[in-house]
């Protein structure tokens, strides 16, 4: 899998053997300028060679502008101005942008890894604000303050409306990676091992990349089932979090989906123009949570990306 097959070498060798050597060609017309001459179609390839082994480390940086919308109430979208890509791949162990993995099986049909990762739902909770709400009622054209529920008649104190805090969860699971002429596929199953949400997520995604000249485009689609425990921990309003401004809500498990498009135009071997967009639909149960203002997450980015 890591090296081209003997068949590839054989085909390449045949191409090289069939290609006649180009020859020295003197310009018949002397003078101060030479005109364009198209050579006969005699393709010549370099001598066949082994594809050099890939470096263990992969460093990349993207600079540009983009953002992910934040589906939470009272939240700010997540700006993406710099996107770092840091990864290391050993014989079996690997580190891929905070995912730590170990390849259990690697054969011509699929690769199975055991992976530890951080749950990504927590990221939205780092960009929230607190708002203070005054309860009023409109009577006869005038707004009159009223006591908020369970405030024992006090009318002057604004009531805090705050998105509850959530912790990062460490999840451990298996992923299977497939590829072929048909594209790339991934199956994943992860369970919390940090006693944070104590739930699990199962997902599948598919992508296909076309390369034409310097341009590549890769659409992708994916579905994910999030268990009730996971969904409720992050997106539910628990009994101890209920406020006059925030009603309790329990979230069941459900299926969400996403679709994306990543395009690149390669300027040099290490620099490209990158444009990407992604749409993620939250599960129906999560979308109904009082913590959720938008039932989707839209992400986009456009900029320059370097790979070192």
Contacts with other proteins in 238-257 (CB under 8 A)?
none
- The answer to the question of residue 62 lying near other proteins (CB under 8 A) is yes
- Is residue 176 within 8 Å of residue 204, measured between CB atoms? no
Which listed residue (138, 150, 195, 268) binds other proteins by CB under 8 A?
Answer: 268
- The answer to the question of residue 4 lying near other proteins (CB under 8 A) is yes
Judged by CB under 8 A, the number of residues near other proteins is 92
Q: How far is the CB of 67 from other proteins (least distance, A)?
A: 9
| Residues of this chain, 80-99, that bind other proteins according to CB under 8 A | 80, 83, 85, 87, 89, 94, 96-99
User: b/e per residue, 21-55, with b = 16+ CB within 10 A?
Assistant: eeeeeeeeeeeeeeeeeeeeeeeeeeebeeeeeee
Q: Which long-range contacts (CB under 8 A, 24 or more apart) does 142-148 make?
A: 148/244, 148/245
Q: How far is the CB of 3 from other proteins (least distance, A)?
A: 7
Residue 186 three-state SS:
strand
CA dist 183 and 113 (Å) reads 19
C-beta closer to other proteins: residue 44 or 157: 44
- The answer to the question of residue 63 lying near other proteins (CB under 8 A) is no
- The answer to the question of residue 211 lying near other proteins (CB under 8 A) is yes
Question: For residue 303, what are the contacts with CB-CB under 8 A and spacing of at least 6?
Answer: 62, 63, 64, 65, 66, 273, 274
Q: How far is the CB of 236 from other proteins (least distance, A)?
A: 20
- The answer to the question of residue 169 lying near other proteins (CB under 8 A) is no
Which listed residue (74, 170, 186, 244) binds other proteins by CB under 8 A?
Answer: 186
C-beta closer to other proteins: residue 47 or 239: 47
Q: Which residue has the tokens 């580190």?
A: 95
- The answer to the question of residue 281 lying near other proteins (CB under 8 A) is no
Q: Which stretch binds other proteins (CB under 8 A): 29-37, 137-145, 150-158, 240-248?
A: 29-37
- The answer to the question of residue 278 lying near other proteins (CB under 8 A) is yes
| Residues of this chain, 118-147, that bind other proteins according to CB under 8 A | 120, 123-124
Which listed residue (116, 146, 168, 179) binds other proteins by CB under 8 A?
Answer: 179
Terminal Cα distance for the chain, rounded: 24
Q: Which residue has the tokens 């699971």?
A: 173
Residue 132 three-state SS:
strand
Alpha carbon dihedral 100, 102, 108, 110, in 10-degree steps, equals -60
């Amino acid at each position: 899998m890591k090296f081209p097959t003997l068949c590839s070498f054989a085909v390449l060798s045949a191409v090289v053997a069939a290609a006649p050597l180009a020859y020295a060609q003197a310009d018949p017309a002397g003078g101060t300028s030479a005109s364009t001459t198209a050579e006969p179609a005699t393709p010549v390839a370099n001598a066949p060679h082994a594809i050099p082994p890939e470096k263990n480390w992969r460093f990349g940086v993207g600079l540009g502008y983009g953002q992910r919308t934040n589906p939470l109430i009272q939240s700010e979208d997540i700006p993406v101005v710099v996107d770092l890509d840091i990864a290391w791949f050993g014989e079996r162990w690997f580190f891929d942008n905070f995912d730590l993995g170990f390849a259990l099986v690697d054969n011509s049909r699929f690769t199975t890894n055991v992976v530890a990762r951080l749950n990504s739902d927590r990221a939205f909770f780092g960009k929230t604000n607190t708002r203070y709400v005054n309860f009023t009622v409109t009577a006869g054209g005038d707004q009159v303050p009223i006591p908020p529920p369970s405030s024992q008649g006090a009318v002057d104190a604004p009531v805090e409306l705050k998105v509850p805090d959530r912790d990062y969860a460490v999840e451990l699971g298996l992923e299977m990676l497939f590829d072929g002429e048909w594209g790339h596929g991934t199956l994943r199953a992860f369970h919390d091992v940090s006693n944070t949400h104590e739930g699990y997520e199962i997902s599948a995604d598919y992508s296909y990349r076309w390369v034409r000249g310097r341009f590549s485009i890769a659409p992708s689609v994916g579905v994910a089932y999030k268990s009730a425990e996971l969904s409720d921990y992050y997106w539910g309003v628990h009994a101890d979090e209920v406020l006059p401004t925030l009603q309790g809500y329990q979230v069941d498990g459900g299926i969400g989906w996403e679709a994306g498009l990543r395009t690149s135009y390669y300027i040099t071997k290490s620099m490209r123009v990158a444009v990407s967009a992604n749409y993620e639909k939250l599960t129906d149960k999560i979308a109904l949570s009082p913590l959720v203002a938008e039932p989707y997450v839209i992400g986009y980015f456009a900029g320059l990306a370097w790979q070192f």
